[in-house]
A and B are shown apart, each in its own frame.
Chain A
Amino acid sequence: MPLVAIVTSKRFLEVLGNTLLLVAVVVPLQFVLALAATLLFAESFRGKEIALYFFVLPLAVSDVAAALLWYTMLSPRGFLNKLLLELGVVSQPIQFFGYAFRHMEFLAIVLCEAWRATAIVFVNIYAGYQMIDRELIEASEVFGLSFAQRLRHIILPLLKPSIESALLIRTLFALQTFAPVLILAGLDIPVLATETFYVYAQLFDAPKASAWALLIGILTFIVSSVYVYILRTPEVR
């Protein structure tokens, strides 16, 4: 059975581990960035509309393109290295790509994902924020709550439903990360989606590829069950 074959294969733990590590790094990072952006856009300031346009722009940018944008940023003759060389911060370009620099490739994927998919988390949380009753926030200001207190006792509890659904969606899509990993790391950092692709398109083994895909399905089911369970509890009360 192909599923048993892949689960007992040497690659299984590596692929699963990489996938889960990517999710564990990327999703919390995106959550923090999205929450910070929500608080930023909660205030009005000059140029807010333009800033908002830029921030949500990656929603429409393809993940293939986003990966190539970050290749352009980080390659040996890319923006970052040329800038650092010019400023004299480094004397040799920082290497981000190649099997020997797998950790840097991972960092490149994380940067790309933070750039590309924070917007979807943000839009969910920001929409939730706009539905919060303004008077509650004003009242908390009147009663002299500090920013931290206001965040912890007023804003976060009221945002909970939006945060939960945003994180669910993002976690599930992070399990399927494909093009950024393939383009920035090739097969150096195999994750479930790139392994499915590789086994199907390069090894021509459709049953095994289906088994890898099925694993994404199983993880999707487990993660959404856990989220639904967490979501249920407070409503029962």
Chain B
Amino acid sequence: MAAVLLVLWIGIPLAYTFLAALADVQSYYEQLLPARYTLENIGMFLQLGALEAALRSLAVAVLTIIISFALGLPAGYALGRWAFRGREAFRLAIFSARIFPVMIMAVPMASLFISIGLYDTLIGVAFIHAALALPFVVLITSSIFASVPKELEEAGMVFGLTRWQVFARITAPLAAPGLTAAAMFTFVISWNEAFAATILASRERTLPALTVATTVAGVGGAAPDPYKFASAALLSLPAFLIMAYMRKYLTVMWGSQR
């Protein structure tokens, strides 16, 4: 059945990589389904700088969420709530920012960051990730805010709440689950981003940047197989949890927005 094939198509590479990451190397090479398992591969990978890199990735992702939400949430609210002159042009401008290639940003930014002292800093990488995530945050939060009934806000104001109180007590709590999904998506953008993170830092490497630097033959590193399995497993781990929550919001987040 088609659905079963589909699950296998997505599932086998993931499952087999986790298996390989936990398998004894000798056993992995000899058998299709390895018989012996060990935590050695993961341990070695973490000791070779992956733990620090993962923590850096985490810090960059949190900073990215903070920056892009601080800038994007008000814009998303305005776009989702009010009709104003130039709204469609604004939406289109945001959409174009979304397709702006990261390569064009990252290379000149590296030169700029060196001169202003942001090169090789986590906040520097977070700035670029926030620039990437910002259009998504604006578009996604606008459709989430648009789904909160305006009547509830108006009722709040009739009962004497200020705009800020309306937002804090009515809109924000109702939008919270959707906003959580948007924050998770921002996390994914940052956690997965490899190009800018590689270009903008040489010592303060995030997990994808470390993986690129150490696994690519021809640019300095050709890591052994177990190292590759361990990095693939660690990198894709958040996806399982995040998708379990985000799945409900897929159509809100990708569907209605153009």
Contact A72 B199 (CB under 8 A): no
Contact B239 A57 (CB under 8 A): yes
Report how many A-B pairs have Cβ atoms within 8 Å. Answer: 201
Q: How far, in angstroms, from A65 to B215 measured CA to CA in the complex?
A: 11
CB distance from B197 to the nearest CB of A (A): 10
Any A CB within 8 A of the CB of B158: no
Residues of B within 8 A of A54 (CB): 6-7, 10-11
- A213-B104 contact given A60-B242, A72-B17, A186-B218, CB 8 Å threshold: yes
CB distance from A36 to the nearest CB of B (A): 8
Contact B243 A169 (CB under 8 A): no
Contact B212 A183 (CB under 8 A): yes
Interface size class of B (residues with CB under 8 A): 35 or more
Any A CB within 8 A of the CB of B171: no
CB distance from A227 to the nearest CB of B (A): 10
Any A CB within 8 A of the CB of B3: yes
Contact B232 A40 (CB under 8 A): no
Instruction: Choose among B14, B29, B216, B243 the residue that contacts A59 (Cβ–Cβ < 8 A).
Output: B243
CB-contacts of B31-77 with A (<8 A)? 31-32
Q: How far, in angstroms, from A210 to B240 measured CA to CA in the complex?
A: 36
Residues of B within 8 A of A53 (CB): 243-244, 247
Residues of A within 8 A of B219 (CB): 182, 186-187, 198, 201-202
- A197-B199 contact given A65-B236, A115-B9, A127-B254, CB 8 Å threshold: yes
Any A CB within 8 A of the CB of B115: no
Any B CB within 8 A of the CB of A50: yes
> Does more than half of chain A's interface fall in helix, strand or loop, or is it mixed?
helix
Q: How far, in angstroms, from A83 to B246 measured CA to CA in the complex?
A: 34
Any B CB within 8 A of the CB of A158: no
Tally of chain A residues near chain B (CB < 8 A): 77
Instruction: Choose among B111, B239, B255 the residue that contacts A61 (Cβ–Cβ < 8 A).
Output: B239
Most buried by A among B6, B107, B231, B240: B107
Any B CB within 8 A of the CB of A12: no
CB distance from A84 to the nearest CB of B (A): 10
Stretch of B95-103, B117-125, B145-153 at the chain-chain interface:
B95-103
Contact A186 B255 (CB under 8 A): no
Contact A68 B101 (CB under 8 A): no
Contact B107 A196 (CB under 8 A): yes
| A interface residues with partner B (beta carbon < 8 Å) | 36-37, 40, 45, 47-48, 50-66, 68-73, 75, 77, 79, 82-83, 86, 115, 120, 123-124, 126-128, 130-131, 161-162, 165, 168-169, 172, 175-176, 178-179, 182-183, 186-188, 192-193, 196-198, 200-202, 206, 209-210, 212-214, 216-217, 220, 224
Q: Please name 24 pairs of A and B residues whose Cβ atoms are closer than 8 Å in the assembled complex, sorted by A.
A: A40-B6, A48-B3, A55-B6, A57-B240, A58-B239, A59-B188, A62-B235, A62-B236, A64-B212, A69-B236, A72-B13, A77-B29, A115-B9, A123-B250, A123-B255, A172-B99, A176-B101, A178-B194, A179-B194, A188-B218, A200-B107, A209-B107, A220-B101, A224-B99
